[in-house]
Structure 1
């Protein structure tokens, strides 16, 4: 079938798959470094307790056959090494069937983590990574030219990511329609980056331009992905530029980097003809067409969701995360709240008790500490702390267990933090306090050197003590 392959996209496929492998590497690395405190046997939301009430059908995972922290570590570090090998080109050094097995294994290993990760893995980019990884199984390696059906599916995935995000904004907060959302968003986003203070202080007309450009990128450009070249490449290239802008303005884990990778499914790079021109074997064509038919059949639910007034955001319609719906920031916070954890070594609490603060790696704490750049790495605890500040409902399952582990001086938990104010012995009491944060003005920044100004509001979690 001459129409089946597109040799001109061989270089684009190479870039797409290498970037995707890098994101898998980051995902497995974050899991390996953070799981013990979050979902380990003695974590805040232990996997064994979760699986006790979940069947394999409800939570398909290799851990259904038995869980141990040692086994999770082996899986996560094994996934890290495998992703690193694929990034280095292993999938192009093995036969076509071997390449497919490598990508299938990456998908299976990460699926096993996500399906037991509970609230720590409830972010849309987890499903996005899994869906992209499933498609990568069928994209082939340098033995064959890229298959047209799978390139189409990558465009369909990118379309849903961007168009879904655009629709959820238009249907959501009024500030997206009057072009004022970015007056607030750079300050109130989950995890500001090193340049977010500067983005926040852009003039209001530029904020309006930012919002208008966002609407164009998410509602106009995705439609052009399905047009002939070179228009599709221009649209994909413009989408890459908008993603780089988002990368500069904040930390959104690997969402933006993965979206850039997807864009290469439509961004045709020159000089690719020599990379892969061989005709695909029949068995491969059959598998690709079967996978394409499956994805198109499963696409009914996400497509219907896009047209629905009750549009769901970041939702998986199946436990394998094969075809999902995406979207982000349908509503924008006008005020930034932060939950600050504090401890004291004093056994008896009085009005004069001295409390010392724990510092997180990514979320705001010390007003003089400049926000850092962590994306594409995902600081899961820091992100959930942002949700906790919005409403205690988000923190109900894990905040008290978090405080209990601080009281116990749990090493795995403390490794998730930037600063432990009790390095020699755990505190006697731990509490949480709610603050209102805002970026300092230019004048305040020059005078004090602080990036933030904060106002104490109330105690968020009453003092807890060691039992």
Structure 2
């Protein structure tokens, strides 16, 4: 590092800008495919109804995060236009075209992505209530100030990315230590691979590993999240200490974060959470001479500091000062007795608190939705979802970083004390054989025809042992519990 310029972090900037833009592309694509049936004009939780309710009183408007749809009336067509525009801008950034211009070029592009996606998240209600939504928003805001290829990245922005990784990892580690006993007695991962919201193709193999391996996983997790994050700031010592040691220490710490997140990618489907963490962790890896600026302004010019234009130093320094102010609640939260998980402390969702899986579910209960076409409700057929377990012979698929929002919320249903309004609306859409809703699931057992009845049945699922897999060819073993809702029919 060289004062205002992180001269050895050109490669890190390349990974950050292109990686974050790629995740925005996935996020806008997910919204393009799913927002309308979930939250559109005729969705399960219509966003126009929320906006109308918010608009009735000033104090309600302050409860809503900023959204373009508070100024422009929501319509499904405008939502589609916003998503398509977001995909185009993100794709251009992935290719790297704006990065070849002045620094305000990529800045405007990333700020457009940030504001555009915030406009969706703000009206997304429970379908957009995941921690990785605010993570992507914060990462996009910071990426706007990384600059362009003709100059080194600003030190202050690179350090702010380190602060983001620290909050991600250390916050998650503290949540676990303060959470369920299973994290302290090292048994959490004996259950997690099986009971996580959406298992992946390798989740069963991970679950069947020996108990000593799972205990080692927990120890490794605690080390990666409670010890390693402090070493992410080691490259700052290069401002006062000569030699490569500080950057090597930081790179090793970042590599540990990346490797642990890669294991989670292999064994689960956590949308873009793990992918975003890996991308952001690259901010700590400094490689001298790799990805360096192509053309650096003359350092003896009065409008240049450490190879950065003076106006850009002023802008990025202002961002740094802003973060000093807005980070205070997040810092207090990390060490608070009642630590908040995935919490935002300001309307712009900057300097948030992160964390996941403070407790681990020890038993997997699935809500299976069934329909019947006969008047007496004798024969029942199952609706198959794309990602969540259903057919016991079907191998779980890898969907991440794509986010299947309906499937994820289905996992939360057995954990609550009552069924949410969206689920009741979902059952009504199935009774109506609503085509956009049916497009969200994998198999409609009635091929577009209306069933007479629908109901929700709870099952206990567990991964099949190796012997059960050889004997019966099954991935899951399940046992029926009870009908938890219904039968319902349309009047």
TM-score, normalisation: structure 2: 0.92
Structure 1 residue 424: Cα displacement:
4.1
Query: Contact 2:169–2:226 (CA<8 Å) still a contact in 1?
Result: yes
Q: Which residue of 2 aligns with 1:82?
A: 89
Q: Pick one of 275, 288, 297 that aligns with 2:293.
A: 275
How big is each residue's C-alpha offset from its partner over 1:241-277, in whole Å with a ceiling of 9 and x where there is no partner?
1111110111000000000011111012353264354
CA 1:150–1:274: 2 relative to 1, 3 Å: closer
Counterpart check, 1:312 vs 2:336: no
Aligned partner of 2:133 among 126, 130, 134: 126
Alpha-carbon displacement from aligned partner over 1:44-94 (angstroms, at most 9, x marks no partner): 110011111225433210011210011101101211121111111122133
Counterpart position of 1:288: 316
Matched, 1:95 2:102: yes
Distance 1:88 1:232 in 2: 28
What are the equivalent positions in structure 2 for 1:31-50 lying under 5 Å apart? 31-50=31-50
d(CA) in 2 for partners of 1:460, 1:325: 35
Do the aligned residues in 2 keep the contact of 1:17 with 1:261 (CA within 8 Å)? no
1:280-429 equivalences under 5 Å are: 280-349=308-377, 353-393=378-418, 395-429=419-453
Number of residue pairs matched by the alignment: 463
CA distance in 1, matches of 2:39, 2:101: 35
- RMSD in angstroms over aligned alpha carbons? 1.3
Give the Cα separation in 1 of the matches to 2:17 and 2:94.
8
Structure 1 position 397, deviation (Å): 2.0
Which SS does the other structure have where 1:369 is aligned?
Answer: coil
Q: Structure 1 stretches (4+) deviating beyond 4 angstroms?
A: none
Following superposition, the deviation at residue 13 of structure 1 comes to: 0.6
* CA-CA distance at 1:429 after TM superposition: 1.0
Deviations 1:350-381 (A, max 9, x none): xxx10000000100001111111000000000
**Which residue of the partner structure matches residue 64 of structure 1?**
70
Match of 2:206 among 199, 202, 205: 199
Query: d(CA) in 2 for partners of 1:269 and 1:423?
Result: 56
Q: Displacement, 1:119?
A: 0.4
Q: Secondary structure at the match of 1:342?
A: strand
Tell me what 1:220 maps to. 227
CA distance in 1, matches of 2:224, 2:379: 50
Aligned position for 2:17:
17
Q: Distance in 1 between matches of 2:465 and 2:182?
A: 22
Contact 1:144 1:280 in 2 (8 A): yes
Q: Which residue of 2 is the match for residue 438 of structure 1?
A: 462
Which one of the candidate residues 481, 486, 490 is aligned to 1:457?
Answer: 481
- 1:210 is aligned to 2:234: no
- Conserved? CA contact 1:7–1:272, under 8 Å: no
Residues 452 and 263 of structure 1, relative CA distance in 2, 3 Å threshold: same
Query: Given that residues 342 and 354 in structure 2 are in contact (C-alpha distance below 8 angstroms), is that contact kept between their aligned partners in structure 1?
Result: yes
Q: Does 1:109 align with 2:109?
A: no
Q: Counterpart of 1:377 in 2: which secondary structure?
A: coil
Instruction: Give the TM-score normalised by structure 1.
Output: 0.97
Structure 1's unaligned 5+ residue stretches are none
Tell me which residue corresponds to 1:176: 183
> How far, CA to CA, are the matches of 1:269 and 1:244 in structure 2?
21
Cα deviation, residue 156, structure 1:
0.2
Question: Which 10-residue stretch deviates more, 25-34 or 454-463?
Answer: 454-463
- Map of 2:301 onto structure 1: none
